[in-house]
Structure 1
């Protein structure tokens, strides 16, 4: 069947005047555009609770049908997750394909997933979503070939032909593959921990600029483009966790982790599937909450990020705030205020200020000390040259006298060489 161009009507229910409803509908339009679907019209309804049979009131169904006919649209996207019976009833009454916010987000994740692990995680989430909805989704596939909600080869049309038991078996196989990948990543994490390097993790709403900040730090301190991560001005550009080593001019080093962005009403299937990826965040020494300061709703997006972090069990890790894209506002930047920096990662304004805040938090265990290293222990001097920040060097009869800023553990390890310690 030839793939049809999709035009959608967006539908949402504002339950008891939700303060963030307008933004939620605006975000639904952005998610729809990210799936390359044209938004033909929007219809909303104020209700005390959603209609259990159709999500919207049955009287509103006629308005949606009229809007579909007027715009020659062939798809309705609802702003919340629909139950199997709601999908079935809506498709029957509207005589067109119906999808919800959850399948829209799953579809974006499916298109963006590049690594094996991300692809497996998305497929597991898709299959778990599909299980109770097989009848409705199979009918939906019959209405139109391809398009959003059906383009996933791994778990699209082929999977819908399978019975429930075989889908459950498929989920089980995928989970076993994921466990192996998770085990491999845990081994990598243990190896990194042995090196004793502190870890900072970038977290925040999707498209806030986490990857741009990582690339700005890599460009400033590492040079070259080979370690840069993918960045693009679009929703969910990053689905893979990337870890990079940042080495500063004073020889201090830390690991920086870029993570998947959050979104309001992030499907619970996805949070569950990506939990293993987000474990990188749970073991960080510091979180850098990246905020799109140019977004008028930035405070609400911060709340969603903090709520999602709480859902995956993150509560006690220290946090800094990087208010990114501040160049798009009237604020003069860079500006530092307590544990926050107002910056522009794209223009690399505020990068030094951000690094200063990171250093203050994760290098607390560093100390300054003075040592006298005998000339026959040149290997120790080489170690400090590579691993620490030597502030001054003096050659005297007994050996090399250095003032050094280093880890407290290194100071204790070579305490017999200490002259004094700050």
Structure 2
């Protein structure tokens, strides 16, 4: 099974913390969508013989696309690839887009496709073109947090969006951010409890990080906003674990919690090393042996595609690279790192190295063995990226 990721590099406005590739200028949107379609066609041979199990629209903000644009992209995939009978098709969306598209009479200039589909709600129209999973960027239910992050929606729109979405979709995920400056533990608990009140089956949650060249980094440097607090981040991560696991969620990946049968198939495929192609500027691809990444510039991407070229660079992964990636992704999940897989795929030298390097973290109750599988403890899950780096092989290149 394989997947297709489509990067939509547009947003209505820039969040202060975001360093993903996007533009707030939508003038080239139609032209770029046409190029996405062409790239999908150009690259069909890469997944020849593979069934497509997941299609994921990420960004950026994919909900800025019209129904017709989304339909065009999805139909092109079905026409050029072998797709399973019921693929998971996820759309990342912002609450303000979904709410504004519900009331099409108020947004004629940016919602022409929605007006053309005015016989149904935006959620019904999404369903009609095959989208069956929504990932909604809530981030917080508190206005002060949303304003600090420069989110385009307010808390009322967030709550209204979830209520409307639940009338049409079962498979819904929401994003929440913790360690926001000024967010104490009580407000974080209230955020989680508010999310639980909507009976959402999947929650992705991330600590706010300060990325270079973002507005947030500039505000912190100028003293306008307090810096993020590592102790706050760890404390609020464990609060998240405690509340969600107590509510029946499975902490199946460091930043992801799902009810049974509601894990993200798309993201799970990434963590389990399955093949996927990334369509669009800045999108990444993986075929099991090498990684690729498209140019991170909308105009350069458009120019290349229009000339018949896919603007992608590749990196061949050595055995050591693949071992390191397996350790990193495996430790982040409930599936862990299998000693037998290490032995079979990489050899005894790698297995012995993993066993040796893990001993110190096991002694500190950060890792443990379940049979031949190495897993992070509840305490270790917050520190898992640093732990994984200690297990990386850095002295072998073959």
TM score, norm. by length of structure 1: 0.25
Which structure exhibits the higher relative contact order, with contacts defined as CA atoms closer than 8 Å and separated by 6 or more residues?
A: 2
